[in-house]
Amino acid sequence: MLRKIKNKLKSGSVLVYTLIILFVLLSMALSIASVTVIEKKSALTTGKSNQAFQVADSGAEIIMQAVRKGSYDTISEMADAYDGADCYRGVMTADISGGKIRVTFFDKEDGGDPIDNCENSFSSVRRIKSVGSYEGSVRAVEVAVAAQGDSGI
């Protein structure tokens, strides 16, 4: 009789050990799945952030090219020439490369308030800040502008 009880206890303990091992394996699988999902989201966010940076940089490049060529006298002329762009209180906004840019113009290289009038001449622009947004990610690029006629352009 005692032997039967011991055998039943032994056979019951195998079930407990099996359940413990299965629980540990399930925990490991869930942890790996969780890390995979987090890394995938991180990779998507990085891609969107890179695209937002590219949009901001493209906005700065467009403005720098217009300043270098001297093809526009005022900020509003440049905004009018660029399809879909708008200028309000010295800030130009436009859709570009699937994202949006917001370019702020400054008349001083170090600090200072932004230019608040779209009719200001491009020759007074000394610094621009281009903010690009793409699917919720926002990045900014700030560039110093050499005066027209400077050899730096």
pLDDT at 104: 87
Sign of CA dihedral 135, 52, 68, 103: positive
Give the DSSP per-residue string, 35-51. HHHHHHHHHHHHHHHHH
More confident residue, 141 or 75: 141
In the block, tokens 């099996």 appear at 18
pLDDT digits (tens, 9 = 90+) for 110-121: 667 788 888 877
Question: Residues 137, 87, 107, CA angle at the centre, nearest 5°?
Answer: 90
pLDDT confidence of 47, banded at 50, 70, 90? confident
What does the pLDDT average to over 88-116?
Answer: 81
Taking 3-state DSSP, the helix, strand and coil percentages for the chain, each rounded to the nearest 5, stand at 50, 25, 25
Q: How many CA atoms lie within 13 A of 124 on its CB side?
A: 15
| H runs (alpha helix) in the chain | 2-69, 75-81
pLDDT confidence of 22, banded at 50, 70, 90? very high
In terms of pTM, does the model score above 0.85? no
On whether the CB atoms of residues 67 and 152 are closer than 8 A, the answer is: no
pLDDT at 60: 86
pLDDT at 2 over 70: no
pLDDT confidence of 35, banded at 50, 70, 90? very high
Work out the mean pLDDT of the chain and round it to a whole number: 80
On whether the CB atoms of residues 128 and 145 are closer than 8 A, the answer is: yes
Looking only at the bridges linking them, the beta strands covering 99-106 and 127-134 are antiparallel
